[in-house]
Amino acid sequence: MKLEKPLRIDIKQWLGRLGVKGQADEDLQAIMETCERQLLQTAGPQGVYRVLDLDALRLEGTAIQKHLEGCGEMAVMAATLGAGVDRMLRAAQIRDMAEALILDCGASVLIEQICDQLEGQIRQEAQTFLTGRYSPGYGDLPIETQGQLLTALDAGRKIGLTVNKSHIMIPRKSVTAVLGMADHPVTGYLATCGECALRETCVLRKEGKSCAGF
Amino acid sequence: MLDFRKKPIFLDGGMGTTLQQSGLELGASPDLLSLTNPELITSIHKQYIEAGSDIVYANTFGANRFKLEGCGYTVEEVVDSAVKAARAACGSDYFVALDVGPLGELLEPMGTLAFEEAYDAFSQVMVQGQASGADLIVIETMTDLYEVKAAVLAAKEHTVLPVLVSMTFEENGRTFTGTSVSCMAATLEGLGVQAVGINCSLGPVEIFPLAKELCEATKLPVFVKPNAGLPDPRTGAYSITPEGFAQAMAKYGELGVSLVGGCCGTTPEYIREMKRAFSTEMVKSQKPSAEKSVICSGTQAAVIDKVTVIGERINPTGKKRMKQALIDRDYDYILSQAVQQIDAGAHVLDVNVGIPDIDEADLLPKVVKELQAITDLPLQIDSSNPEAIEAALRVYNGKAIVNSVNGEEKVLERILPIVKRYGAAVVGLTLDENGIPSKAEERFAIAERILERATAAGIPKKDVFIDCLTLTASAQQAEVQETLKAVSMVKERLGLHTVLGVSNISFGLPCRPLINRTFLALAMENGLDLPIINPNDEDMMGMIHAFEMLHNRDKNAERFIARYSDVSLGTMTRGAKQRESASGEGEPSLFHALEKGMKADTIHAVEQLLRTEDEMTVVNDYLIPALDKVGQGFEKGTIFLPQMMQAATAAQGGFERIKERLANSGKEQVSKGSVVIATVKGDIHDIGKNIVKVIMENYGFEMIDLGRDVPVEKIVETVLEKDIKLVGLSALMTTTLKSMEETIIAVKKAAPTCKFIVGGAVLTPDYAEKIGADYYCKDAMKSVEAAKEVFDA
């Protein structure tokens, strides 16, 4: 289904991804505004979700099991900014690498905002209690799970989202996630750094933070 | 034999839907059922025949080598059993279509599957489909026109069966990959399919306006297979009843649609109801036909109903820097020329890679692939080499222009069939064995002959464009008017579109722009539709926009005002503002300009310096120290990545000016060492690699960029061939780190002294060491340091 674009891209998140501490100076701000316009114009956000039994998919790893503990069903979702953004990012890298970098990071923030929106819709339609989103590649849920989720959602047909042999989603700016559903309040479970595949390289961790407390 | 003039022809409804009703599991492959339970498949086909279908789609939608991988059966087995299961239901009274769906992996440039690989995979299906006795081929539910092209070529080149194609559109009239209805129509009509259509994704009500557009865009029979309305996102149930579907479908008769059926959510009941509602009288015998000249890329169509600008900059003639880029396979430079022309407002890009001693048939298709990865504009394939033209047209996504043929018999004989086979438009030059005739009448006669021969070759008149040839006013002044006269004769008497290369007119005269502009205005007034010009020349573009407005084709001067409302005469600059100094006065300091990331000022400062300093001094004493300062700021955290990249981009502009100067004066290029850089096999994340490339280039390293998803062998080959001392590899996924390791092992085996720098989000110093890399670089500046160490040692 088609999803609405937000009016703005979250500037705080965007600067964070660019590695900029504090505020953007005037020049950067001006470029980010141009990039924001381009992104919002080009993005064609689409999303799809389905409610499944917990055993409908093989989800490996201990963290996802904990995440779904106490849940009766799960919602599986996928969202993408579409192929136009990929094309725009390719051309931008020829035109001006600085802008390409800013656009790329902006697109990453935008897809998260789109996911928030889809999650909101799921919550509204589910009329039950849900955990947060949990995605393949996070904690010890293998990135290889990506393909399984997309097949279950028929995502290629429904929103044009596919995965290649290396488990990279195409279009690039896309997200899949699993949310637990229960008839009582559930918080889900965020993987600890010890379980996380990215523990050695995580920037947050180097700064002594964790995404669980983000 | 299937007669598409008979209307309406009834297709079947959903296979997957009916199978799921029979208890097919979620995510399970329906394709194998033809082998494991052929009776079930036959019984579903039978239900459709009984409901009134003339054609049934065999259960082969996902029967290809990618989707069947690891299932334990061959593609041939699955296709054969499916076609036979359908035949068992149809006998010889009804038709069995080989159903060909998407491969399930996206093609380049979006994905990693090569066009040629897709063609191979489709060929395997087509060959078996025909051998098993299918009556026709339906390529359906496609969203990528490029994939469709691979499938159509595979069908046409391996079978004699009729080919029908339907694509899947969203409500905005585009497929997920951005193909529009008009792009599909123009490309597929050119490729010679028997019918085009729309299926899946939407219901009959939503598809109706798209089908209308399709009917208007093509002469081919049109077919539709909508879903049973829209699915409920939670349950997946479809919204329309068989009666509602039938009612909505009956309206398609008015459009002249010839074949109708259903897709997801439809069952035999839907087809039965539809057939009841769809009386023959409701189908118009004639649907409106399309006479417009359209060329397109996979995503953007250019209708030649206004002056259509062909950008001429990708052509090495008289351009030493471009020549060198082609020899070096420096695609970034070639693509940067494309991007400039796109931003300047070109409608079509000419692509010419003809230089002596270059393998044009190898290079031209490569450049075409690179270009279509970054631009939506249609391309003009500019070559006289038939092999090169064919190779380029084959991999081109859309409907291109071929430039050119001429009145010479052997040229027409050789090239027109290629143009026809790939469904391109063609430019005919009004010259022949005897050269360029001086008189307009004689040039007209050649144009007439070219048209006649093109028509005989099966190329529609609307796809033949004539170039009456611009001669140089300084040498053949009297003939300028003959060219103009010929243009007007071709336009009026033959009704063909006309092309002219404009700037040749002023060769050898002072103040060339003035002559070019004046000639362009005269030519347009005489009927020139497709000027080949430098679109970066704003005076020429302005002339065209003013012309369109004065001819009342730019209604309410909308386009003119949008382009020029904030431009003051005398400083005709427009478009994306460069980062420029506030004052714009005085001598900008290179340091200041670069640090602030002001590209135009940096280039200006480099030009100033080059008046007194040689190229190497500018690089070593100015550009690099300035970059160092920025780099130190980045290390200290006073400058952030975006600012550093702006500085690097500005430096890149300055560096490009130096390269141009060296190329023009025939001097050696700056090189502090050659470095191969690549994103490893399987991985397509390349922004990090490109950042490193730009920064290293600024430090004078010659970067040989092999791109993304680069096979191990290609890296080994390049290292050996160019005697490379340093390779940079990038991988962003835990799943592709393996390829990084394989690459390092293979290269070190072949070239033991070659060093490696590696980087990527999931990489760690420990892991880098473990896989045999020499330097772990957490950012681009670290790569520069490592490279200095390697080359200074």
Bond preceding residue B268 cis, omega within 30 of 0: no
What is the spatial distance between Cα B125 and Cα B138, in angstroms, rounded to a whole number? Answer: 12
Question: Domain of B237: which CATH number?
Answer: 3.20.20.330
Cβ within 8 Å, pair A46-B176: yes
Q: Going edge to edge, which strands form the sheet with B702-705? A: B702-705, B674-679, B726-730, B755-759, B775-776
Structure tokens at B538: 């704003």
Sites in chain B below the pLDDT cut of 50: 575-586
Distance from CA of B641 to the nearest CA of A (A): 7
Q: Does B735 touch chain A (CB under 8 A)?
A: yes
Q: Assess whether B158 and B41 both reside in one domain.
A: yes
* 3-state SS, residue A109: helix
Is B663 a domain residue?
no
Sign of CA dihedral B696, A96, A113, B373: negative
Cβ within 8 Å, pair B763-A171: no
Is B2 a domain residue?
no
Let me know if domain A11-213 sits in CATH 3.30.470.20.
Answer: no
Q: Assess whether B618 and B736 both reside in one domain.
A: no
Closest chain A residue to B644 measured between Cα atoms?
Answer: A98
Q: Does B147 touch chain A (CB under 8 A)?
A: no
Q: Assess whether B139 and B52 both reside in one domain.
A: yes
Tell me, what's the pLDDT at B578? 45
What is the spatial distance between Cα B332 and Cα B705, in angstroms, rounded to a whole number? Answer: 9
Structure tokens at B746: 């293979």
Is B225 a domain residue?
yes
Is B664 a domain residue?
no
Cβ within 8 Å, pair B233-A159: no
Question: Which of A49, A157, A198, A207 is the best residue to mutate to test the B interface, defined by the most B CB atoms within 10 Å of its own CB?
Answer: A157
Question: Which of A161, A166, A201 is the best residue to mutate to test the B interface, defined by the most B CB atoms within 10 Å of its own CB?
Answer: A166
Is B667 a domain residue?
no
Within 8 A of A35 by CB-CB distance, chain B residues are none
**A174-182 vs A73-80, strand pairing mode:** antiparallel
Structure tokens at B201: 């994704």
DSSP string, B133-175: T-SEEEEEEE--HHHHHHHHHHHHHH--S-EEEEE---TTSB-
Q: Assess whether B546 and B604 both reside in one domain.
A: no
Among candidates A28, A51, A144 on the partner chain, residue whose Cβ is nearest the Cβ of B642: A28
Query: In sequence order, what are the residues at sequence separation of 6 or more whose Cβ sits closer than 8 angstroms to the Cβ of residue B302?
Result: B294, B295, B296, B308, B347, B348, B377, B378
Distance from CA of B62 to the nearest CA of A (A): 12
Q: Assess whether B207 and B322 both reside in one domain.
A: no
What is the spatial distance between Cα B470 and Cα B507, in angstroms, rounded to a whole number? Answer: 11
Q: Show the DSSP H helices in B675-764 as ranges.
A: 687-698, 712-721, 737-750
Query: In sequence order, what are the residues at sequence separation of 6 or more whose Cβ sits closer than 8 angstroms to the Cβ of residue B751?
Result: B716, B719, B720, B724
Place of tokens 């193909």: B179
Question: Domain of B725: which CATH number?
Answer: 3.40.50.280
Dihedral angle computed from the Cα positions of residues B461, B465, B471 and B472, in that order, rounded to the nearest 10 degrees? 160
Cβ within 8 Å, pair A165-B105: yes
- In chain B, which among 68-97 make CB contacts under 8 A with chain A? none
Is B669 a domain residue?
no
- In chain B, which among 40-69 make CB contacts under 8 A with chain A? none
Cβ within 8 Å, pair A94-B339: yes
Question: Which of B17, B20, B25, B106 is the best residue to mutate to test the A interface, defined by the most A CB atoms within 10 Å of its own CB?
Answer: B106
Contacts 24+ apart (CB under 8 A), B686-691: B686/A93, B686/B730, B687/A89, B687/A93, B687/A100, B687/A101, B687/A104, B688/B730, B688/B732, B688/B759, B688/B760, B688/B761, B689/B728, B689/B730, B690/A93, B690/A97, B690/A100, B691/A97, B691/A101, B691/B645, B691/B648, B691/B780
What is the spatial distance between Cα A66 and Cα B82, in angstroms, rounded to a whole number? Answer: 44
* 3-state SS, residue B334: helix
Contact between B130 and B161 (Cβ < 8 Å): yes
Is B579 a domain residue?
no
How many helices (H) and strands (E) would you count in chain A? 8, 6
Structure tokens at A64: 């996802």
Residue B164 dihedral angles phi and psi, to the nearest 5°: -110, 140
What is the spatial distance between Cα A27 and Cα B396, in angstroms, rounded to a whole number? Answer: 40
* Residue that finishes a domain, picked among B247, B282, B317: B282
* 3-state SS, residue B341: helix
Cβ within 8 Å, pair B112-A164: yes
Q: Assess whether B550 and B641 both reside in one domain.
A: no
Closest chain A residue to B201 measured between Cα atoms?
Answer: A158
**End-to-end Cα separation, chain A, in angstroms:** 30
Contact between B392 and B383 (Cβ < 8 Å): yes
Is B230 a domain residue?
yes
Cβ within 8 Å, pair A19-B685: no
Within 8 A of A56 by CB-CB distance, chain B residues are 26
pLDDT per residue as tens digits for the range A33-74: 999 999 999 999 999 999 999 998 999 999 899 999 999 999
**DSSP label at residue B578:** P
Among candidates A94, A157, A168 on the partner chain, residue whose Cβ is nearest the Cβ of B332: A94
Distance from CA of A66 to the nearest CA of B (A): 23
* Residue that finishes a domain, picked among B282, B303, B326: B282
Question: Domain of B392: which CATH number?
Answer: 3.20.20.20
Cβ within 8 Å, pair A137-B648: no
Tell me, what's the pLDDT at B669? 83
Within 8 A of A82 by CB-CB distance, chain B residues are 176
Q: Give the angle subtended at the CA of B373 by the CAs of B372 and B377, to the nearest 5°.
A: 40
Q: Does B633 touch chain A (CB under 8 A)?
A: no
What is the spatial distance between Cα A175 and Cα A161, in angstroms, rounded to a whole number? Answer: 10
Tell me, what's the pLDDT at A214? 41
Cβ within 8 Å, pair A19-B335: no
Q: Assess whether B254 and B319 both reside in one domain.
A: no
Tell me, what's the pLDDT at A195? 74
Number of Cβ pairs closer than 8 Å across A and B?
Answer: 154
pLDDT per residue as tens digits for the range A151-200: 999 899 889 999 988 889 999 999 999 999 999 888 877 767 777 767 77
Q: Which amino acid is at A173?
A: K
pTM of the model: 0.92
Q: Could you tell me if residue B84 is left (phi over 0), alpha (psi between -120 and 50 degrees) or otherwise beta?
A: alpha
ipTM confidence: 0.88
What is the spatial distance between Cα B526 and Cα B517, in angstroms, rounded to a whole number? Answer: 14
Distance from CA of B152 to the nearest CA of A (A): 20
Structure tokens at A76: 């599986």
How many structural domains compose chain B? 4
Tell me, what's the pLDDT at A211? 67
pLDDT per residue as tens digits for the range B279-315: 766 665 556 666 899 999 999 999 999 999 999 999 9
Tell me, what's the pLDDT at B733? 85
What is the spatial distance between Cα B375 and Cα B269, in angstroms, rounded to a whole number? Answer: 46
* Residue that finishes a domain, picked among B547, B564, B581: B564
What is the spatial distance between Cα A119 and Cα B506, in angstroms, rounded to a whole number? Answer: 63
Give the start-to-end residue ranges of the domains of chain A.
11-213
- In chain B, which among 400-419 make CB contacts under 8 A with chain A? none
Structural domain range at position B681: 674-792
**B294-296 vs B301-303, strand pairing mode:** antiparallel
